[in-house]
Structure formats: C-alpha cells, structure tokens
Structure 1
Amino acid sequence: MDRATGEIEQFEIREPASQTIPFVYNSPHSGRCYPTAFLNETRLDSIAIRRSADHYVDELFGAAPELGAPLLAAHFPRAYLDVNREPYELDPKMFDGPLPPFANISSLRVAGGLGTIPRIVAENMEIYRRRLSVGEGLVRIETIYKPYHAALRRLIARTHARFGISILIDCHSMPGNIQLSGSTLRPDFIIGDRYGTSASAELSRAAIAILTELGFSAVRNKPYAGGFITEHYGRPARGLHALQIEVNRGLYIDEVTLEKRPAFDALAATLVTFMRQIAEFAEEYSGTTALAAE
C-alpha cells in the first residue's frame, strides 16, 4: 500500500540489493487485490473469480531478488486486467458503446473471452453482470496496463545494458488436468519460447534439462508456447531472451479451495535451485553466440 495515499499499489518491483545476474522475473497473473467496485460488478463468488489466476506464483519465484534478479509482480487480478495481451484486445460485446478504431476486436483471444479485459474466467464463467463503459475499460489500460509494461521495459533495458543480454522469465501456472495431445502425460512444467522465436534453443533446452534433473516432467511449447509478453519482449538475435514457464497448479495448491498444499514450501525451495542453475548456465554461455547478441 502507498502510505502517502492509502491506495493499493497496482504492482511492485522487488529489487535485489545488487543485480548480479542478467535475469528479470515477471509474475503478471498472481495479483490478489480485488477492487471492491469490481467485486460488486461480478456475478461470480469469491472462489470462482479467482479460477484463472496464477495462484501464489510470485511467492514460488519469490527468491529471485535474493539470487540477484528483480521480480515484477502484479497486485491487480488477471480477471480485472490481463497484461499478457496486446493493450487493446477488447471484446465489443462487453461494452456499452463503440470501441476506439485501433482496438483489436477480432483476435482469437478476444473470441475466447480472454482479451485485455477478460469476459470470462476458467471454463466459460462469465465475469460481469452488465456491460462496461468504454471509458472504464480504457482507464484500466491507461492507469495499470501501460505503467506495468513501462516498468517491465525499463527492467529489461537496464539488464541488457548492464550485462549485454537480458533473460526474461515470465512466470505462470496451469490447471493440473492439462494433458499433452495424444498422450496421457500431464507435465509438471511447460517452457514456452514461441517455437524458438523468443529465446535461444539452448536456453530452452537448459531449462527443461534442469527441471528434469530435479525430478519433474517438463516439455516445450505445447500446449503453451508463450503469450504476448514472451512474443513481444523476446528478441534473441539482439540478446533479449524471453521464456514462459508454466507450473502445474496441482503440485502446490488444492484446485478446489485454491489453498496452498503442504508441498508448497518444498516446491518453492526446489525452484530456488532451478533459478540458481539457470543463472549458472547463462553465465557460462553468455559470452557465446548461443545467448549473446549477434
């Protein structure tokens, strides 16, 4: 909370004492501060409205600053605003007036109800009782979405200037019942690199190898290859790498009550090992063409 105004801060940057590794960690969907006005507008109860959140992911990766990397964490909930979308992916059916002409109203994510301002959570559960005003939607974008991305860009640019490379780890969670097509495997982790376009293949393979050695099942890109953030900020030819990591929620929460399981602390401790080892990999290879800018 901002002590000067008494208002809840929309996001925070948890800084290391000194940034010593070329990583930026980002948790855009783990916000848990639900505006009262928003709760008054929703038809969902206090559990259902949270179904699409990346529960406690900011805590799972909370050791990043201790390891020498900043962590950007949202406080606003994903159901209220999704910063892993284009800034204006908006569903015209949600609003009581015409949207600006520059709005993207025809993306697959909008069609699925999961635009910048989502229409649904989880399995087609409608969020709102009524249509929103266009102005209300645009205010969320101007006052939360844009400052959030400005903060993320600054962290990436600062890291790249300091180390010559920047590695963004975009942290998410996935439902425990996610299954690979044509397989019975329900992976513990999915590493997304937009099919090799947002990060070097060496970095993706290293992440999967580390997780596998730690005893997890880990796959690459399917069914989650990465969203807007991974696609937008990953430019490996320039030394700007972006990986999305999806953690199976069944590993650490009860998916009915959304409460932490007893295994939560052990998983968080194991992810410290993952973060340390991926940093060691980056340090070893950052001077090679595998990770450095061409």
Structure 2
Amino acid sequence: MDWLEIHRGTAPLIISLPHTGSDIPDELVGGFVSPWLATKDADWWVDKLYAFATDLGATTVRTRLSRSVIDVNRDPSGASLYPGQFTTGLCPRETFDGEPLYRMEGPDAHQIERRRRSYFEPYHVALRDEIARLRRQHDRIVVYDAHAIRSTVPSLFNGELPNLNIGTNDDLSCHPALTRAVEAACDAGAFTRVTNGRFRGGWITRHYGRPEIGIHAVQMELACRGYMDDPDKAPDPTTWPSAYDPQQAEPLRATLQAVLMACLTFAETPSPS
C-alpha cells in the first residue's frame, strides 16, 4: 500500500500522522469540486516538522491520502467527537470553511464503507501492530498524534488559536504526569499553550489511550504560523498552502524536540503510583 508509510523504531514512542497527506486516488478525483479544496484542510508540512523524530528512535505511521478521502482520526461509527460543535466526519462533505467538497452529494453509505475498509482499517491495523510490538518491548509507551491547523478558522474556534494545543481528553488518555511533562516542555519555549481547550484529542487519542495498560496517548494540535506563513483571512489557491519555512520553524522544532524528549523520559521512567 504505497499510501501508507511506516518507519519502525525501538523507542517507546509512536508518532501518528493522520492528516498530512494530499494524495487522492485517481478514481475519486473527478468527484471533488477541485483538488485544492480536497486538500485545503491538510495538516500541511507536519511530517517535515517532525522529521527529527526518527532520530530519537520513534516509530512513525503516516497516510499519504487526503483527509477528504477518508479521515482516519474520526470515530468510524460516525459519532461526533465534539457534540454540539462543528466538526467534519469520516468522509467529509465540506471544508472547515463550509465549502462543498463534491460536485454532487458526495459518497453514499456503500462508498463510505468501501473507503473505510480500503483505507481506514489498514491505517489502524498498522497503528495497532506498532503499539503491540512496542508494548512487548516496553512497560509503557506514548502514542503522540501530530496535527496542525490554520491559526484562524471561525467555524471551529473563536479568535486566534494558541501555538500549542495539548489534548489528553481531560487526562483520560494518559497519566496526568505525562500531561504535566508535556506542558512544562511547551512552557519553556516562547509559544502560547492551552491544554484540553478546543482540541481535547481526536479519535486516535481517545481510542488508543489506555493508561491503565501502559498506553498513553497525547494529541498536539499546532497553529501553522509557527512554521509557515498563515493567512489572516480566508485562504485561496494563491495563498494556501504556503511553503514550509525551515528558519521560521526552528524555534518550534526545538520546543517539539523537548516535548518528544519529555514523552520518552516519561515512558522510560517506572510507572507512577
């Protein structure tokens, strides 16, 4: 499956990259209004931003497919992660800005099920396999779900999003000691931070986080302005996505390195009582 990328490390840390893809299968391209709209809400360049993680011994699991094809960070049952708030589904029909993604009505139940079996399930089989492999080697591991989003998306949140948004589903997906360690690493830098704010963790964080059996899951949602130019008004094909800026990204990368080191230190320390 050339759309599924797995790098196996030996450290007790898995980086999940569910939204960094922009590929669309040839047979589906014609159904979308445009390829730009179908990739507009990608977590742009997050895989580049975290490229250093493999040097730390981390395992990475990434899909190259656009989240508009299938969102592997949504509950496959269709249940909303944020009841009462706007969110996109397993096969989104509109962008974060409310623009229709499809020329017609979009995929029906049969087509959604086909995509779930073809793309959603293999991603999670891979993720489960890597979790099981590392748990056989370590008493506890951290599953770190890496995301990013534009700093201003009125349909999702008010105002400008903090730079660093930690999600642990109110500490249900990991031990509070890990939350505090990640917060400390974030607060040592020059970036704004919130924990369990608008983004409390997606389906991956909530589904796989089982601290009672040694699997601790954390989501990190970044504001894109930390590593690329982030438009202050509705983006269009001439302004979005902007290029990855290594110089702009360097301070954020340093903070993220500290965050991942905090995750590793937590995982390698005897379990707290």
Asked whether the 8 Å contact 1:252–1:260 carries over to 2, the reply is: no
C-alpha displacement at 1:165, in angstroms?
0.6
Which of these residues, 196, 207, 225, is aligned with residue 221 of structure 1? 196
Q: How far apart are residue 217 of structure 1 and its match?
A: 1.6
Q: In the TM superposition, what are the counterparts of 1:1-294 in structure 2 within 5 Å?
A: 9-16=2-9, 19=10, 21-43=11-33, 45-89=34-78, 112=86, 114-131=88-105, 132-177=107-152, 186-255=161-230, 256-262=239-245, 263-266=247-250, 267-283=252-268, 286-289=269-272
CA shift, 1:136, in A, is: 2.4
Shift of 1:39: 2.5
Conserved? CA contact 1:62–1:71, under 8 Å: no
Cα distance between partner residues in 2 of 1:47 and 1:108:
26
Question: Alpha-carbon deviation of 1:50?
Answer: 2.2
**Distance in 1 separating the partners of 2:110 and 2:46:** 31
Superposed displacement of residue 115, structure 1: 1.3
SS at match of 2:5: strand
- The share of aligned pairs that are identical, in percent, is 28
CA distance in 2 between partners of 1:123 and 1:185 (Å): 15
Per-residue CA deviations over 1:112-152 (Å, capped at 9, x if unaligned) read: 46111111111111111123344322211111111111110
Structure 2 Cα separation of the partners of residues 112 and 81 of structure 1: 18
RMSD: 2.7
Match of 1:63, SS state, is helix
Inter-partner Cα distance in structure 1 for 2:22 and 2:160 = 31
Closer, same or farther: CA 280–50 of 1 in aligned 2, 3 Å: same
Question: Partner of 2:179: helix, strand, or coil?
Answer: helix
Paired position in structure 1 for 2:234: none
Whole-Å separation in 2 of the counterparts to 1:82 and 1:184: 25
Gaps spanning 5+ residues in structure 2: where? 231-238
Matched with 1:4 is: none
- Secondary structure of 2:132's counterpart equals helix
Report the alpha carbon displacement of residue 184 of structure 1 after superposing the two structures with TM: 7.0
Amino acid at match of 1:86: D
Q: Distance in 2 between matches of 1:107 and 1:208?
A: 23
- Structure 1 CA distance, aligned partners of 2:162 and 2:91? 29
Check 1:25–1:143 CA distance in 2 against 1; reply closer, same or farther (3 A cut).
same
Cα contact 1:47–1:257 (8 A) shared by 2: no
Question: Normalising by the residue count of structure 2, what TM-score does the alignment of the two structures yield?
Answer: 0.86
Distance 1:71 1:55 in 2: 17
Q: Distance in 1 between matches of 2:40 and 2:134?
A: 33
Q: 1:56 to 1:63 in 2, by over 3 A?
A: same
1:199-252 deviations in Å (ceiling 9; x for gaps):
111101111110111222221010110111111101111111100001111212
Using the TM superposition, name which of 266-275 and 69-78 deviates more: 266-275
Amino acid in the other structure paired with 1:11: L
Rg larger in structure: 1
**Long gaps (5+) in structure 1:** 1-7, 90-103
Relative distance call for 1:238 and 1:107 in structure 2 (3 A) is closer
